[in-house]
Structure 1
Amino acid sequence: MMGEKISVIVPVYNVETYLERCVESILKQTYRNLEILLVNDGSTDKSGELCDRLALRDHRIRVIHKENGGLSDARNRGIDEASSDLIAFVDSDDYIDEDMYETLYRQMVSSKADLSMCGHYDVYHQIPEKQVAAIKTWELTPKEAIKMVMEAKVLSVTAVNKLYKKDLFEQLRFQVGKIAEDAFIMVDLIHHCSKVVATNEKKYYYVHRENSITTQKFSLKFLNVIEAYEQNAEIISENYPDLYDVAIMRLNWAYFYVLDRLLVDPDFKDKVLEDRLVSYLKKNKKTILMDSRFTRARKISFLALCLNRKLYKKILLAQTNR
């Protein structure tokens, strides 16, 4: 299939083990009209050399070498360098089905959408989860799409399993120096769309490396997750007040996310921050317990938190070590 050219942006940083598989999956696309931008973000391993060797295999690959600036900075550079009106992102340790861009492009054109989305496989220990049982496609207003990605049951705020009209990025860029960079931009991007199209069919393989919650060191950068969903709550409050309960649900989730990572790191101690996180959640006790989007297990563990912080931590560690 040959339609408009798609610029596929692949930020590269110290991923020599994974990069070739990623690039091969893009080169094998049934949709051939691609420009593949490998943005080497100051890698200190042999990833930069590998990018140059891969570029010799196919004229569609272009390599950009830059100083290290992080994932957002690399994606932004790719957006600046892209020569087409459609852009997409693939993380360099992931890979994609051979018809992913054909699928995304077909549904974008047929529905006259600004943004086209598909589902993703979570890959643990090199084993992808199962495909969905019933494949569905939706044509969505921005409000409907924001609800869908915020609830994260079918699709989420991830930037990678999507195809974008480039002009969505005229006023927007990924925030440099932040983690949760996708959460900072996705709701705003969807807000600027006229129409969004989505399928729950999984086409993108999101690889989880061996780095569990119990071994990952806590950093104050995790607070970016809360910041991102506070920003999203503001956008939703101003433009889609009917969705404010979804925004608060996701903000509550963000507080749980940060608290859980703080508590399971034995080397990080910040009682003031811990108290602030717990205090926020307790203030939202009724909202959390009444929200059907939180699982029964989450609600039970939250009640334990309200009673005894040590008990909550014990439950948390038991769940993450299963």
Structure 2
Amino acid sequence: MRIKISVIIPVFNAEPYLAKCIESLLNQTVHECEFIFINDGSVDNSVSVIERYKQIDARVVLLEQYNQGVSAARNKGLQAAKGDYIGFVDADDYIEADMYESLYHTALKEDCDIVLSNFESEIDGHAVLTAYPFPVNQVLNKAYISQEVLPFFIKSDELNTACNKLYRRSLLQDQGVQFPLQVALGEDGVFNMAAFSHADRFVYMDYTGYHYREIIGSATRNIIQKDYFQRALDVYHVELPSHFKAILAEESISRLKAIKLIHNVMAYVHIYFKPTASLSVSKQIQYIQTMIGAEEVRKALPIYKKEMKLTLNRYQKVLLYFISNRSWIGIYFITAYSRFRN
């Protein structure tokens, strides 16, 4: 059987969600697939779940590695993949039955290197759709990628995920595109920036087939172990690939980075001020004060205000006012009001 699509699924202690993920893969309306699961040192019964489905369907492939992280797991899958195109799914998510047929049909019809689609997130019990400001169902060429898509990666995290895309395998292999190791945050973004920078043609489909599941309480539960703001600063300071500097002026890169940083700050205040037993109120206040007082934030705020003032809604303007004035009390009450309204 000629394999049309290789789907790569890294697995680490995903037992509660794994069966639904696997069944959504096996139910794909395009049959010529292989589903490459990479067990990354799970200590629960994830392997047993995969083995059970492997006995039922020969398209299930199981590879093993010892807890090297999601990037190493995906790279191992890339090395083993045989399909014409490659997709990625996280083990606690699930997809619609026609997702890969829809993306693959478009890839073949338009001879695309990459096909992009929307995705739906389940956050606090609410469905949130992520879509993109690109022309729909049109072949977008290298010039458009350079002028619109690559800058989008610098100013926003929304395009980072690899899971709502289909990639031509030969593009990834010929250009040596892999996920970076020892990157604490944004490995998907680095991978995608490299893939898109080498792509000649891509299509954005106004289609939603991927369902991202937020593990309940994950953000606030891990707030002590994962310093989200420090990670945002790491991304802010990271050196971009050389081809970006050939495409964009240093001033433009700095401007786009400033927009992303303040976007992140405005999102993180909700995480840090969300009621949780794992973090005391005094610690929450300390996090907020550190974040809004950071030198990088103070430097980025004027740039953000200038660039985004016409697109901000009333709530965002008020929140930005309190951040600008380093008022943690104002931030506390405005985020509490937002939670009440929602």
Structure 2 residue aligned with 1:278: 294
Encode CA deviations 1:126-184: one digit per residue, 9 max, x unaligned. 6645798xx9423223223335566669x622110111112325423222342332223
After alignment, is 105-114 or 45-54 more displaced? 105-114
TM value normalised by structure 2: 0.79
Structure 1's unaligned 5+ residue stretches are none
After alignment, is 308-317 or 253-262 more displaced? 253-262
1:85-96 to 2 correspondence within 5 Å?
A: 85-96=84-95
Structure 2's unaligned 5+ residue stretches are none
**Structure 1 residues 174 and 257: alpha-carbon distance in aligned structure 2, compared to 1, 3 A threshold:** farther
CA drift at 1:96:
0.8
1:305 aligns with 2:323: yes
2:128 and 2:317 mapped to 1: Cα distance? 26
Encode CA deviations 1:187-216: one digit per residue, 9 max, x unaligned. 222111111111121111111221164444
The amino acid across from 1:145 in the alignment is: V
Structure 1 residue aligned with 2:4: 5
2:292 and 2:127 mapped to 1: Cα distance? 38
The counterpart of 2:164, out of the listed 161, 164, 167, is 161
User: Does structure 2 conserve the Cα–Cα contact (< 8 Å) formed by 1:184 and 1:229?
Assistant: no
Encode CA deviations 1:78-115: one digit per residue, 9 max, x unaligned. 11121234211000111111111111111112222111
**Structure 1 residues 84 and 299: alpha-carbon distance in aligned structure 2, compared to 1, 3 A threshold:** same
Encode CA deviations 1:225-248: one digit per residue, 9 max, x unaligned. 443354486664432349644444
1:36-55 to 2 correspondence within 5 Å?
A: 36-55=35-54
Matched length: 318
1:272 and 1:204 mapped to 2: Cα distance? 33
Structure 2 residue aligned with 1:209: 215
The counterpart of 1:315, out of the listed 331, 334, 339, is 334
1:38-187 to 2 correspondence within 5 Å?
A: 38-124=37-123, 128=127, 136-140=136-140, 141-143=144-146, 144-147=148-151, 156-166=159-169, 167-169=171-173, 170-177=175-182, 178-187=184-193
Aligned-partner SS, 1:284: helix
Structure 2 residue aligned with 1:250: 260
**Structure 1 residues 94 and 136: alpha-carbon distance in aligned structure 2, compared to 1, 3 A threshold:** same
User: Does structure 2 conserve the Cα–Cα contact (< 8 Å) formed by 1:118 and 1:199?
Assistant: yes
Aligned-partner SS, 2:212: strand
The amino acid across from 1:227 in the alignment is: D
CA drift at 1:55:
0.6
1:243 and 1:190 mapped to 2: Cα distance? 19
2:260 and 2:35 mapped to 1: Cα distance? 34
**Structure 1 residues 95 and 44: alpha-carbon distance in aligned structure 2, compared to 1, 3 A threshold:** same
TM value normalised by structure 1: 0.84
1:199 and 1:6 mapped to 2: Cα distance? 18
After alignment, is 142-151 or 260-269 more displaced? 260-269
Aligned-partner SS, 2:16: coil
User: Does structure 1 conserve the Cα–Cα contact (< 8 Å) formed by 2:9 and 2:36?
Assistant: yes
CA drift at 1:41:
0.8
2:337 and 2:220 mapped to 1: Cα distance? 10
Aligned-residue sequence identity (percent) comes to 24
